[in-house]
Amino acid sequence: MAMMNAQQYRDSLARRKPLKVYLDGKLLDDPLAHPYVRTSMNSVALTYELAQDAEHRQLMTARSALTGETINRFCHLHQSTEDLINKVRMQRLLGQRCGTCFQRCVGLDALNAVFATTFDMDRRLGTGYHARFRKFALAMEQNDWIVDGAMTDVKGDRGKRPSEQQDQDMYLRVVERRRDGVVIRGAKAHQTGAINSHMVLVMPTASLKPDEKDYAITCALPADADGITYVYGRQSCDERKLGGGEASDMDAGSSTYGGQEALMIFDDVFVPEDMIFMNGETEFAGTLVDLFASYHRQSYGGCKVGNGDVAIGAAASIAEYNGVAKASHIKDKIVEMNHLNETLFACGIACSANGAKLPAGNFFVDALLANVCKQNVTRLPYEIARLLQDIAGGLMVTLPSGKDWLNPATRELLQKYLAGAAGTSTYERVRMLRLIENLTMGRAAVAYLTESMHGAGSPQAQRVLISRLAKVEEKKVYAKSLALNNSVETVEAAIRTGLQKVRAPKKADAAVPVTA
C-alpha cells in the first residue's frame, strides 16, 4: 500500500505501542484522544485526505523516483524544479485549509537532505550509508509514513560548543557503540508533529569539529521506540479547547485544527546499525544542516502564505461585518496584506524555480533565495497580523466568552450590542473575531507568527547563510571595474580577470563537502 487515506493514517497511529507522553503534569493514557493532540492530528490527516481528493490529487502526489508508483508528495525525492514548485504550492493549499501548521514538511525536508548527504559521504569517504538510506526512503514512501525530522538540540549554554557544555547531554550524542548499533542520549526541542509521527529521523543540529564525533549521528527509529519520552508543549490559549461543546468551540477561534510541538527526550535509546546514516563523520554535519535548513526555509514560502491567505480572508470578512469594507483605507490595507503575502510566495517559488540537481539525483533549492525567503517570513507575517488586528478592532480581545453568549441572561443583550453592519450575523461576527484572535495571539499564532520567526532557524541563522552565499567579492569586482575603467574593453577585461581571481578555489575549499 503506497498511499493511506486519512482514516488509515489515524488507525496506523493507534497501532503504535503506547507512547510515553506527558501533558499538563500527567502521563496520558490515550494521547491521541486528548483535544490538543486530536486537533493537531486533524491537520496532519489533511495531507492524506487531499491526496485522495480528485481536485487536489495531482498536486498532492508524485511519481516515485524509486519505484515509479504514485506516492504522497510528502514522501517524494524531488526530481525537478517543477517538483520543488509543486511542493510550495501544496504547502500553500494545506496552510489555507487548516490555518495552522500541518507538521509533515519536516520529514520531507529531512528525507531529501539526508538522501543527498549520504550520497556525498559515500563518494568522499567510501562509507555505505546511501544504499541503507535508500531503503529507508523506500519504506517511507511505501508505508506513507509521517517522519519527524528531529534536528534542534536543546543546546544549553548557547555560547559553548557541544563538547564544552557542562552537561554533555545538551546535544544529542552517542553514549555507547555496540557491534549491532549505537545507544543515543539527549533531547530534541520544538518537535513538530512528533506524537503524530510513525518514525523519527534524528540529525545533528550544527557543524561539528573533528573531536565532536559522538554528536555526528543521523539515524532513524520508530516514534514508539523504548526510551523516548515526550513532554507536550503548551500553546497560547490552548485550554479553550478543553471544555467541549459550543461555548469552547466559539472561544477557541478554530476548534478543528491545531499544530503540535513537543520536547522529545532520548534516554539511552538503542538504534540498530541498519538505521544509522551518519556515525562520527563530523565534516558532513554542517552540510546536512545547511541542506535541511534551506529546504525547510523554502517550505515557509508555502505554508505561511496559506496561513496568510486565511488572515487576509479574515480581514476582508470582518471589514464586511463591521460595515467598513468600502472604506478606502481598509481596501488599501487589504491590498498591502496581499502584496506582503504574495511577496513571500514569490520567494518560495523563486528558490524552487532556480533549484538544481544534486549529485545524488534529487533536486535542491537555490539556497540563497531560500534563505531570503525565510528571512522575509520572519517579518512579513507580523505586518500582515498587525494590519489584520488594525482592521478587526479592539473587540477581538474584549469579547465576552462563549458561555456568556449561550447564557439566556446575557444572550439577547450580546446579540443586540455586539451587532455589526445591517444584514450581517452577529454570531458570525463574533466567531470571526475569535478566529482573528487565534491567528494573531492564540494557538494558531504559534504557527503563523512565532514559528515564522524561529522555525527552520531564527533570523540570524538566515543572515549567516545570506552573508556566506551572497558573493559580495564578485559584486566588488563589478563595482571596481566600472569605477576604475573607461572603455567597454577595459571594463570587460577587468571583470573577467577580477572574477577569475575571486572564484579561484582557495586551499581550505578542499575540505568542503560536495554539495556545500
By beta-carbon proximity to ligand SF4, the closer residue of 106 and 208 is 106
Pick between residue 310 and residue 414 the one whose CB is nearest to Fe ion.
Answer: 310
Please tell me whether residue 310 adopts helix, strand or coil conformation: helix
Which helix (H) or strand (E) is 197 found in, with range?
none
Q: What's the min distance (Å) between Cβ of 118 and ligand SF4? A: 23
DSSP string, 274-302: GGEEEES-GGGHHHHHHHHHHHHHHHHHH
Torsion sign across C-alpha atoms 502, 504, 507, 508: positive
* Active-site residue, 105 included: yes
Choosing from 243, 355, 455, 498, the residue that interacts with ligand SF4 (CB under 6 A) is 455
For residues 76 and 130, what is the distance between their CA atoms, to the nearest angstrom? 16
**Catalytic annotation on 219?**
no
Could you tell me the smallest distance in angstroms from the CB atom of residue 9 to ligand SF4? Answer: 16
Span 105-164, contacts to ligand SF4 by CB under 6 A:
105-106
**Site for ligand SF4 contains 102 (CB under 6 A):** yes
Minimum distance of ligand SF4 from residue 223's CB (angstroms): 16
- Give catalytic status of residue 130 as yes or no: no
Q: Which helix (H) or strand (E) holds 472?
A: helix 472-484
* Nearest-10 crossing angle of helices 328-353, 367-377: 150
Q: Which is the catalytic residue, given 171, 300, 321, 448?
A: 300
Cβ 140 to ligand SF4 shortest distance, Å: 16
Q: Which does 40 bind (CB under 5 to 8 A by kind): Fe ion, ligand SF4, none?
A: none
Among 103, 205, 254, 322, contact with ligand SF4 (rule: CB under 6 A):
103
Q: Interface mask (CB under 6 A) for ligand SF4, residues 294-323, using x and -? A: -----xx--x--------------------
Strands (E), 155-299: 173-178, 181-192, 199-202, 217-222, 228-232, 261-272, 276-279
277 is a site residue for ligand SF4 (CB under 6 A):
no
User: How far is 144 from 111, CA to CA, in rounded Å?
Assistant: 13
Q: State how beta strands 228-232 and 20-23 pair.
A: parallel
* Host H or E run for residue 20: strand 20-23
Interacting residues toward Fe ion by CB under 5 A: 455
Task: Give min distance, CB of 299 to Fe ion, in A.
Answer: 7
- Out of 61, 152, 192, 440, which one is annotated catalytic? 192
Distance CA 487, CA 481 (A): 10
Contact status, residue 189 vs residue 154, Cβ threshold 8 Å: yes
428 in catalytic set: no
Active site residue 303: yes
Catalytic residue among 230, 296, 378, 448: 296
- If one asks whether residue 39 binds ligand SF4 (CB under 6 A), the answer comes out as no
Please identify every residue annotated as catalytic.
Answer: 101, 105, 192, 261, 296, 300, 303, 451
Which residues of this chain interact with ligand SF4, rule CB under 6 A?
101-103, 105-106, 192, 299-300, 303, 451, 455
